[in-house]
Amino acid sequence: MAPRVMTVAGPISPDSLGFTLPHEHTGIALWHIDGRWDYWELTPDEDIIVDELRDYRRRGGATLVDLTLDGVGRDPHRLRSLAASTGLNIVMGCGWYRGAYYPAEVLVDRRSVDDLAAQIIGEFENGEGETGVRPGIIGEIGTDKPWVSALEERVHRAAARASVATGMAITTHGVQSAVGLAQLKILTEEGVDPSRVVIGHADSYHRLDFYLEVLDAGANLQFDFLGHRFGSEEALEPRLVETIVELLERGYGSQLLLSQDVCHDRQLKANGGFGYVYLQQRFLPTLRTAAVGEGEIRQMTVDNPARILTIP
Ligand SMILES: [Zn+2]
């Protein structure tokens, strides 16, 4: 079969992806787990989200990857409907998110790693449950803390084996620590080519030595909290821009990705936020001001995500 990208509406040619947001959500809830502080929710209301996504499309967006997984609101049927009403290519993630959010019925602690991998492979081959919607990437596969828990290690190994079997890339969640290196080590131990791994949320741990270690290992690095306003993101953005410029100058342009991780109602335009267009309206103009060229912007927003999403 020719190389292709699997969207919720079926396979498409990698050339037709265009401008891509590789780490987003169009409906997620993190508040429903007992004893958790995460008070995150992004409404899955279709009328509201369609408006926000149409705005993204109007400003040049063509593809969006929704990494919401089972346990926090994944809804394949809704994703297919969003793609139909907006004209966007939508790619769905698969696998399990992080320890605190593994759905009880998956029985991560009782099944073998191979059995967990077989579930992901089965979904890749046949689509999710009754919907038949097929995933196009594994993730976001995460750690709850700055280490990989025993349970999470099993999911990482299952994700890795499913990636080797299917060709799907793996995209990760890990924040405010160098845990991405531990994740990458497990995945490569299982035989995953590091170029098929995206270490996400890199902007939450702004350390050049961490970035270089991920990049020199051959993995991809994703700055995907762009436009977040939950902490010090705005104040730190100028330094992040300098770091991205430095990584480009050092020749890592083919391994960098950018996204916005919309995951909270307050980020929506309807609520005074930036919606799904922070890159178009704010961040990319800032990069241009910092003398980042159009070729490099295209590499980070079109070519790199297309390569990651291409199933060989
Ligand atoms: Zn995440």
> How close is the Cα of 1 to the center of ligand 1, in Å?
32
Quote the pLDDT of residue 286.
98
In sequence order, the 6+-apart residues with CB closer than 8 A to the CB of 28 are 40, 41, 42, 68, 72, 73, 263
Ligand 1 centroid from CA 14, angstroms: 25
Report percent pLDDT > 70 for the chain.
100
Confidence (pTM): 0.97
Would strands 89-94 and 61-66 be described as parallel, antiparallel, or unpaired? Answer: parallel
Round to whole Å and give the CA distance between 224 and 260.
5
- Is residue 37 over pLDDT 80? no
Give percent of the chain above pLDDT 90: 96
Separation between Cα atoms, residue 262 and residue 21, nearest integer Å:
10
CA atoms of 87 and 65, how far apart (whole Å): 14
Is 39's pLDDT higher than 80? no
pLDDT of 36 above 80: no
| Ligand 1 centroid – CA 61 distance (Å) | 21
Q: Give 131 Cα–ligand 1 centroid separation in angstroms.
A: 25
- Write out pLDDT tens, residues 166-215: 999 999 999 999 999 999 999 999 999 999 999 999 999 999 999 999 99
Give me ligand 1 centre to Cα 2, in Å. Answer: 31
Per-residue confidence band for 40, with pLDDT thresholds at 50, 70 and 90:
confident
- 205-259 pLDDT per residue, tens: 999 999 999 999 999 999 999 999 999 999 999 999 999 999 999 999 999 999 9
3-state SS of the chain is CCCEEEECCEEECHHHCCEEEEEECCCEECCCCCCCCCCCEECCCHHHHHHHHHHHHHCCEEEEEECCCCCCCCCHHHHHHHHHHHCCEEEEEECCCCHHHCCHHHCCCCCCHHHHHHHHHHHHHHCECCCCECCCEEEEEECCCCCCCHHHHHHHHHHHHHHHHHCCCEEEECCCCCHHHHHHHHHHHCCCCHHHEEECCHHHCCCHHHHHHHHHCCCEEEECCCCCCCCCHHHHHHHHHHHHHHHHHCCCHHHEEECCCCCCHHHCHHHCCCCCCHHHHHHHHHHHHCCCCHHHHHHHHHHHHHHHHCEC
Distance CA 142, CA 287 (A): 29
User: Ligand 1 center to residue 73 CA distance, Å?
Assistant: 13
CA of 148 to the centre of ligand 1 (A): 15
Residue 84 Cα to ligand 1 midpoint, Å, equals 26
Q: How many domains does the chain have?
A: 1
CA 10 to ligand 1 centroid distance, Å: 25
Is the CB of residue 278 less than 8 Å from the CB of residue 23? no
**pLDDT for 175:** 96
Dihedrals φ, ψ of 201, to 5°?
55, 30
Between the CA atoms of 247, 206, 264 and 308, what dihedral angle is there, to the nearest 10 degrees?
40
Distance 30 CA to ligand 1 centre (A): 11
Q: Quote the domain boundaries for residue 105.
A: 5-309
pLDDT of residue 33: 81
pLDDT value of residue 138: 99
Q: State how far the Cα of 255 lies from the Cα of 220, in Å rounded to an integer.
A: 5
- The CA angle 50-10-168, to the nearest 5 degrees, is 105
Q: How far is the CA of 224 from the centre of ligand 1 (A)?
A: 9
From the CA of 201, how far away is ligand 1's center (Å)?
7
The CATH number of residue 66's host domain is 3.20.20.140
Question: What is the CA(3)–ligand 1 centre distance, in A?
Answer: 27
Confidence at 292, pLDDT banded by 50, 70, 90: very high
Q: Are 143 and 173 in contact (CB under 8 A)?
A: yes
pLDDT over 90 at 35, yes or no: no
> At 70, which amino acid appears?
D
CA 261 to centroid of ligand 1, rounded, Å: 7
